[in-house]
Structure 1
Amino acid sequence: MQRPAPGAEPRWPGADRCPPSRPVVRVMIVDDSLTARTVFARMIEADPALLLVAQASTAEEALGRLSTCSPDVVLLDLEMPGMGGLEALPQFLALRPSLQVLVVSSLTEAGAWHSVRALAAGAADTMLKPVPGSFGGNYREQFTARIRALGRRDAASTGRDTCPQTQGWPPSRAPRPGKRPRVVAIGASTGGVHAINAVLGGLPAEFALPILITQHLPASFVPVFARQLELVSRRRTIVGEDGQRPAPGEIILAPGHAHLTVERRGEQIAVALCSAPSPSGCRPAVDPMLSSIAEAFDGEAAALILSGMGRDGVLGAGDLVRAGGTVIAQEPLSCAVWGMPKAVAQAGLAAAELRPADMGPWLSLRTGSAEWR
């Protein structure tokens, strides 16, 4: 393919239409930097599963072209002249509800705060902007893999055809009875920030159990995520540190550099950060958190597996169910990527599949007046 001359906008095959014979993911780039657009365009063009259908240097231009180019995924910069990406995001989702938005952010506190706000508002995932010298190798592979998963929803579209239409509250089938929970664990990845906000928004103020959360995020984003969750949930939210004791109604987040696990220390249960490799290769990972909770709480726990790529959480969910705990999976139609919940559901570990907004009422009903002890 002919590459663009220096300073010129890249050209790409099929920019005006998607060949019906190619099962590709249609991508739009929205970034005011010509350099960034060129770098991203070349990575997309090199992947036969992706088709670059449009580029825009402003959010206003992108919104005007959205209906004609029909992208599956928008790569969105948040800091642009005029209408910023954060302001434009709700309009993108209103015009095209099935759209998946991948936010690209700078490695700054302001960039992290804006990115977390975008994820809470409905963006599916975020990636840090590459620095010079990092455009190939692992960055390229992660970048294109995330776009492919978002565009195909990791078989969530298949789920539309093969899964029953759920799934409001209450669930259509009674969940398997399990031990009464004394703690709640939430595991999530791509699309998880928005889902976690919906779960916490459905909890009553008097809900008294500790909540442990492992969300795959860049390490620099975790303190910002903690502040955002505290504002939304009106619950004390902290980043996990070794030796902390989970407290009633408190939220503890996995830090970006270690797994959030718990262990018995005498008569008490305390946080124990762990950096050992996990089966999923993620750090932090959901599996170690759930496995440790199954042991420390003797299965008296409820776990929610939310939207995310891959299978992280399925092994820990198995440990929890065998110990007598209960696992709920996010139903496919509400997932940005139906990967982690799918693995749990297909393994027969999910007591029910619910939308995030319905999980709070389920937890309230399941726990009743349960208190931390």
Structure 2
Amino acid sequence: MSRTNLANHAAPPSRVLIIDDSVVARSVLGRMVEGTRRFAVAGAFSDARAALSWLAKNRVDVILLDIEMPGIDGLTALPDLLIASEGAKVLIVSSSADEGAGVSVQALALGAADTLVKPSIGAFGGRFAEVLEERLSRLFETPADTHRSPSGYGPVAAPRDFDLVAIGASTGGIHALSQFLRAIPTSFQKPILVTQHLPATFMSYFAAQLAVLGGRPCQVATDSMRIRPGRIIVAPGDAHMRVVRTSGGAAIRLTREKAASGCMPSVDPMFETIAQVYGKRALGVVLSGMGRDGCDGAGNMIDAGARVLVQDQATSVVWGMPGAIANAGRASAVLPPDEIGRLVAGRGGGA
């Protein structure tokens, strides 16, 4: 096939919508997007209302969204933009999206795929263009063989009796976690462990938010912390959360060695040690996330007789982590996060 024909068969660039009240920012971001060749600007607006009206008749793949805007701010508009765009991936590009900022975690919880700090107007060039292209490309990455949802699972049986739920998630996982937790009644007393890929500076805010969503206490893990009923424990951003046996049950052990997945914290060590301590009395859940972290650990859990439920592709921001497990044949069920929550609550409730 000639180069011309190859070009004709190349996939069209992904369509990007820019929403920022600064005309300079819209112009610069637009040039950067067009310079990637993989992405193209489909529209650019100074306020959310105009963007929502435009989305009523147009479709995009990505939305670059500022937070601080006159009228409807970005956080307020985010849920409506996700609905109007029929699930476009939203990348927050805002000066208020500093690492550890509460608004960043709020944006991720509301469904944003990622956040990126917008530099000052004078620092908009150079390296930022590379970072923006990297973040945009990352939204569409999936590991090999995770481009499709598996079929043929048939009716989904409720999980067997279990003593603990362990959840792994990354990009898009906070929004999925909120849907999962909203489906869990406050009467559910099994302990819940969460390894979510987030910087350490996010974790205290993240834990506070999970406490509200889950209707139960939530703590950032510390070394030797006891695992107790009715509580959520989240891995700190700078250590793996492992589980060890104790005379009174089980406790957390934090370690900082390099994980095979390259993630810190990593889901694999959590799943591996939970399989050792709880065996078939554990339940694993893997939600939206990039890469394949959790796939090896899911194998440990399945070998121990436990079950692993993963989020489906249609509702995942990135079907990397759950997709890797599903395609490796290690998923007991593939479902939307709210359905996973209802399934877990159906057999795991009570004291």
Q: Which residue of 1 aligns with 2:5?
A: none
Q: Which residue of 1 aligns with 2:348?
A: 367
Shift in Å at residue 195 of structure 1? 0.8
The 3 A distance-change label for structure 1 pair 65 and 21 is farther
Shift in Å at residue 218 of structure 1? 3.0
Q: Which residue of 2 aligns with 1:150?
A: 139
Q: Which residue of 2 aligns with 1:276?
A: 257
The 3 A distance-change label for structure 1 pair 187 and 91 is same
Structure 1 position 118 matched with structure 2 position 107: yes
- Is the 1:331–1:355 contact (alpha carbons within 8 Å) kept by the matching residues of 2? yes
In 1, the alpha carbon distance for the partners of 2:189 and 2:60 equals 43
Q: Which residue of 2 aligns with 1:324?
A: 305
The 3 A distance-change label for structure 1 pair 240 and 68 is same
- Between the two proteins, what is the percent identity of the paired residues? 42
Structure 1 position 233 matched with structure 2 position 214: yes
In 1, the alpha carbon distance for the partners of 2:141 and 2:13 equals 9
Alignment of 1:19-58 (within 5 A): 22-34=11-23, 36-37=25-26, 40-58=29-47
Q: 2:93 aligns with which of 98, 104, 115?
A: 104
Q: 2:277 aligns with which of 292, 296, 301?
A: 296
In 1, the alpha carbon distance for the partners of 2:265 and 2:158 equals 29
- Is the 1:199–1:357 contact (alpha carbons within 8 Å) kept by the matching residues of 2? yes
- What amino acid is the match of 1:313? G
Alignment of 1:1-373 (within 5 A): 22-34=11-23, 36-37=25-26, 40-67=29-56, 70-106=59-95, 112-129=101-118, 143-150=132-139, 159=148, 163-164=150-151, 172-175=154-157, 180-367=161-348, 369=350, 371=351
| SS, match of residue 295 in structure 1 | helix
In 1, the alpha carbon distance for the partners of 2:33 and 2:108 equals 22
Summarize deviations over 1:305-339 as a string: whole Å, max 9, x none: 11111111101111111112110011111111111
In 2, the alpha carbon distance for the partners of 1:108 and 1:98 equals 22
| SS, match of residue 279 in structure 2 | coil
Shift in Å at residue 141 of structure 1? 5.7
Shift in Å at residue 133 of structure 1? 7.2
Shift in Å at residue 154 of structure 1? 7.6
The 3 A distance-change label for structure 1 pair 103 and 20 is farther
- Is the 2:159–2:343 contact (alpha carbons within 8 Å) kept by the matching residues of 1? no
In 1, the alpha carbon distance for the partners of 2:230 and 2:159 equals 23
- Structure 1: give runs of 5+ residues left out of the alignment: 1-18
| SS, match of residue 364 in structure 1 | helix
- Is the 2:20–2:46 contact (alpha carbons within 8 Å) kept by the matching residues of 1? yes
Aligned CA RMSD, in angstroms, stands at: 3.2
Shift in Å at residue 341 of structure 1? 0.7
In 1, the alpha carbon distance for the partners of 2:141 and 2:253 equals 37
Shift in Å at residue 143 of structure 1? 3.9
231-240 or 85-94: which moved more? 85-94
In 1, the alpha carbon distance for the partners of 2:23 and 2:236 equals 35
Shift in Å at residue 130 of structure 1? 5.2
Aligned residue pair count: 343
- Structure 2: give runs of 5+ residues left out of the alignment: 1-7
Shift in Å at residue 363 of structure 1? 1.2
**TM value normalised by structure 1:** 0.81
- What amino acid is the match of 2:181? L
- Is the 1:156–1:338 contact (alpha carbons within 8 Å) kept by the matching residues of 2? no
In 2, the alpha carbon distance for the partners of 1:368 and 1:249 equals 10
